């Protein structure tokens, strides 16, 4: 019977570990005992240099989730995979997690992927920071961030026009922090 196990891997090598386990299982004829190997990630949208950039972020760095029919062969296949330090469990012995816990981790992954990307946007400026307007009618103006609206992906910037501070509402990618 297949159960979920958590494999501890070197941080940053989770995807390579996943691919290697699946490749080794196929090579050794153990595909039927290795049902699934997952790296829990979420999509994150950031603003970098005025551009929206979407990337994957691991929300359990250093861990890989695998549904395995544990046997000596499968144990040694996983344990001998490069960049794997062992299983999560007492004294490094594999201890299965419940189906409900695995479902929670995997559903968290799907919920985060399905969530509105606007809630995942990260900007490199905050309220009170000096920013430069990149495009639009106020291009090349400098101002101070007054408000951030993540739901609408908008920022309110106080720009000095004719010596008078004027609030201007812009898209996140229309401004960048002045360093």
Smallest Cα–Cα separation from 134: which of 177, 165, 166?
A: 177
How high is the pLDDT of residue 151?
A: 82
> What is the DSSP pairing of strand 63-68 with strand 41-48?
unpaired
Whole-number CA gyration radius for the chain: 23
pLDDT at 80: 93
What DSSP string describes 72-95?
HHHHHHHHTSTTEEEESSGGG---
pLDDT of residue 123: 84
**Mean pLDDT taken over the chain:** 85
pLDDT at residue 114, as a whole number: 53
In tens, the pLDDT along 22-71 reads 999 999 999 999 999 998 887 777 777 777 788 877 878 899 999 999 99
Tens-place pLDDT, residues 102-123: 888 777 655 555 544 444 577 8
**pTM summary value:** 0.60
Residue 108 dihedral angles phi and psi, to the nearest 5°: -60, -40
The residue-averaged pLDDT of 118-143 equals 83
| Strands 41-48, 154-161: pairing kind | unpaired
Tokens at residue 157, please? Answer: 């910037």
């Amino acid at each position: 019977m297949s159960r979920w196990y958590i494999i501890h891997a070197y941080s940053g090598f989770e995807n390579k570990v996943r691919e290697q386990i699946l490749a080794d299982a196929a090579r050794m004829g153990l595909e039927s005992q290795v049902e699934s190997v997952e790296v829990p990630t979420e999509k994150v949208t950031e603003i970098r240099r005025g551009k929206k950039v979407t990337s994957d972020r691991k929300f359990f760095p250093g861990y890989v989730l695998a549904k395995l029919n544990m046997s000596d062969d499968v144990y040694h296949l996983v344990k001998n995979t490069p960049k794997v330090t062992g299983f999560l469990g007492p004294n490094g012995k594999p201890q299965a997690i419940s189906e409900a816990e695995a479902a929670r981790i995997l559903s968290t992954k799907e919920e985060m992927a399905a969530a509105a990307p606007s809630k995942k946007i990260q900007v490199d400026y905050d309220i009170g920071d000096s920013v430069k307007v990149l495009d639009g009618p106020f291009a090349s103006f400098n101002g101070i961030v007054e408000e951030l609206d993540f739901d609408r992906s908008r920022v309110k910037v106080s720009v000095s026009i004719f010596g008078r501070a004027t609030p201007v509402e812009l898209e996140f990618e229309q401004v960048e922090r002045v360093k």
